């Protein structure tokens, strides 16, 4: 993608909502050159696509905006992974890849990790509660989700920061236009993360434990004679774990950032939440709807078909915009208004159908713990007046670059 087109893509991704509004008001589908895709922006159309995975393949779900330079690709070639993952798989393969994650993120397992998550949330707030100011993304939002997912998977806490960093670098490498030397550095960080995950796979295969990682390893190796762990198994498992970590921590990090941002941009709603903490679950749903962290995923048609009155050939690229559907006035009255008292609130922030997010309960619980901590301990919280908020230009994990707060 050339620099001019990427600059236009950045503009779109920093504030996609005007584009969404125009697309919903236009008959049929709108083609966006910046996304190189047909934009599916109405709630009903998004739901139709998600109901028909046989017609709309998930194979391009993680198609990068930027193709790394050959030197960076060479570095990545020395790592692990590169195999199908749950968000890019279809049909039986998708079911096979998804099943152990669904089991691993079951309500019972989420409940079991909550005391640890609550302890870590409180400890992180302890580090800045007396300071009167904080940059929340680095001090809290980029730390809690990785620690919680690491606990569920069974990763050594000492390895979690490196894995989290590798996840951020993978996103940068595939979605930001970096100079070649920076691409190489990012690729090296990604490969370092992959080697950490491979070491973990080898350790857990040799010494199984009661954790999600052990279950994933067993699900991949159970068909092999004697349960042997082959090199191909290791590539599959690193890809699986890398995707699980990135989905588990980057999305929740983004949700924490946007939830706190919009509550503080609406002081009356923040004050209501502090006075009536029983509204926290509804506030989480509204924040997820209003400024969806995962704005959407790519799909491709598997056959010629008609969607929203637009004829599409086989192989047509689409961007299925959850963020646009969540602002559709046909589904949500006053859709552009942030209102934590909104009921009902049947949004698409966590997807829908066979590809709905299996970690949605875990994400919601971390948001709940965060808001309990902040409303209880820092009720006077406000946005720092001298530090304007800039949104990261991405459709995958929409969040502030930084969130400077004061009290």
Q: What is the pLDDT of residues 197-256, one digit of tens each?
A: 999 999 999 999 999 999 889 888 876 656 789 999 999 999 989 988 888 899 999 999
Q: What is the pLDDT of residues 87-105, one digit of tens each?
A: 999 999 999 888 888 888 8
Q: Which residues contact 80 (CB under 8 A, 6 or more apart)?
A: 194, 195, 197, 198, 234, 235, 238, 239
Q: Is 3-406 assigned to CATH 1.10.630.10?
A: yes
Q: Give domain limits for the chain.
A: 3-406
Scanning the structure block, which residue is given the tokens 């989420």? 110
- Assess whether pLDDT exceeds 60 at residue 1: no
What value does the mean pLDDT of the chain take? 94
- Assess whether pLDDT exceeds 70 at residue 341: yes
């Amino acid at each position: 993608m050339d620099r001019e087109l990427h600059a236009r893509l950045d503009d779109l991704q920093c504030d996609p909502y005007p584009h969404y509004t125009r697309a919903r008001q236009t008959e049929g589908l709108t083609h966006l050159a910046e996304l190189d895709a047909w934009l599916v922006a109405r709630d009903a159309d998004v739901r139709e696509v998600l109901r028909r995975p046989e017609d709309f393949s998930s194979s391009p779900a993680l198609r990068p905006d930027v193709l790394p330079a050959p030197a960076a690709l060479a570095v990545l070639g020395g790592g692990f992974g590169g195999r199908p993952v749950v968000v890019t798989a279809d049909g039986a393969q998708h079911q096979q890849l998804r099943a152990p994650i669904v089991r691993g993120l079951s309500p019972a397992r989420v409940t079991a990790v909550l005391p640890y998550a609550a302890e870590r949330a409180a400890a992180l707030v302890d580090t800045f509660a007396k300071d009167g100011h904080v940059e929340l993304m680095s001090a809290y939002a980029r730390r809690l989700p990785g620690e919680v997912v690491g606990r569920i998977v069974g990763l050594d806490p000492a390895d979690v920061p490196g894995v989290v960093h590798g996840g951020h670098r993978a996103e940068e490498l595939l979605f930001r236009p970096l100079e070649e030397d920076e691409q190489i550095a990012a690729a090296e960080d990604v490969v370092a993360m992959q080697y950490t995950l491979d070491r973990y796979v080898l350790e857990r295969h040799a010494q199984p434990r009661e954790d999600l990682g052990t279950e994933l390893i067993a699900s991949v190796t159970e068909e092999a004679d004697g349960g042997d762990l082959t090199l191909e198994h290791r590539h599959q498992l690193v890809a699986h774990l890398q995707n699980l970590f990135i989905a588990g921590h980057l999305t929740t990090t983004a949700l924490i950032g946007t939830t706190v941002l919009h509550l503080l941009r609406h002081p009356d709603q923040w004050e209501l939440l502090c006075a009536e903490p029983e509204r926290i679950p509804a506030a989480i749903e509204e924040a997820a709807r209003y400024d969806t962290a995962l704005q959407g995923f790519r799909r491709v048609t598997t056959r010629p078909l008609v969607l929203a009155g637009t004829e599409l050939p086989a192989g047509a690229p689409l961007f299925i915009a959850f963020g646009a559907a969540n602002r559709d006035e046909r589904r949500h009255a006053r859709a552009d208004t942030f209102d934590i008292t909104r009921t009902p609130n049947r949004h698409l922030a966590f997807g829908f159908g066979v590809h709905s997010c299996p970690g949605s309960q875990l994400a919601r619980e971390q948001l709940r713990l965060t808001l309990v901590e902040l409303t209880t301990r820092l009720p006077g919280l406000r946005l720092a007046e001298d530090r304007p908020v800039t949104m990261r230009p991405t459709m995958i994990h929409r969040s502030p670059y930084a969130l400077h707060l004061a009290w």
